[in-house]
Structure 1
Amino acid sequence: MSDLFKPVDVKRTGKNVRHFFETDFDHLMKYASPLSTVSNNRPDRVRENEEFDSHDQKYLEFVKSRILADSCRRAINSLTENSKKIISLVYEHSVTNAMVMQRLGISSSTYGVWKTKALVEFADALLAETSGNSNIKTIDLHKYLREE
């Protein structure tokens, strides 16, 4: 196999994405909100020799969070319809897995397959979104299989 696409460990990648949604995603969305504690009334540029103070640093973190939050939203919006529904309902709207299965009209075994696919699809989309943006760190939620 070529070096272009490393083989992905689907289960571990899914677990990693779930962890991202359960721990980082909600915090990121709250911090990136216009109503967050960081004011967005900052000047467009800082004078060349002016040092950053703690408020400036918080503002830069806010801006980076907004960029990353937008990348997450674009990644979710780029998913296939079923994957988008699963990710959006479970992680943005806190709908239980049972309710999602009922809404989609599928069995629990089918749901497990679809959810894992949705999580890996999100990891792919987020990697694509962040790798093309020099303003934020590339986020790769994949876990790769070790080639022996």
Structure 2
Amino acid sequence: MPKKIEFHFKKPEDSPGYLLGQLTMLWQRKLKRVLDPLDLTHTQFILLCALAWLSRESDAVTQIDIANQGNADRMMVSKVLRTLEDKKFITRHEHPTDTRAKTIRLTATGEKILQKAIISVENADLEFFTKLGTDLVAFNANMANLIKENKTE
């Protein structure tokens, strides 16, 4: 008879990681439905948003800036940005001071697609998370704190 596998938690619903994974899958499925018609993946959307946020402050946004803003792996960011460039959503230019870096910019097409995506995703988010009611503010604060506390790991 095989040995029983032991868990710290008595049931899956007691595990915050399990619950977060389940919630994430449901939420990502909802976002996929709104992003597919715009020819965007969730990762592409996040990186375009990071670029848009950073572009408000600088005309010299780099791939590393985008990776840092999105808490993303640099190699993955590089691959996704190549795809976004192929789709004509972004352009890459020589960096004014760093010869190893490229500046990344949204194209007019990228701006239009991103604006549509933001509206769709924000509406989907509100629909999905509004079920928390007044607890949404605390939920967001707890998530932001967890991100901050675990960012260095």
Query: TM-score, normalization: structure 1?
Result: 0.40
Higher relative contact order (CA 8 A, sep 6+): 1
Relative to its length, the structure with more helix (as a share) is 2
Relative to its length, the structure with more strand (as a share) is 2
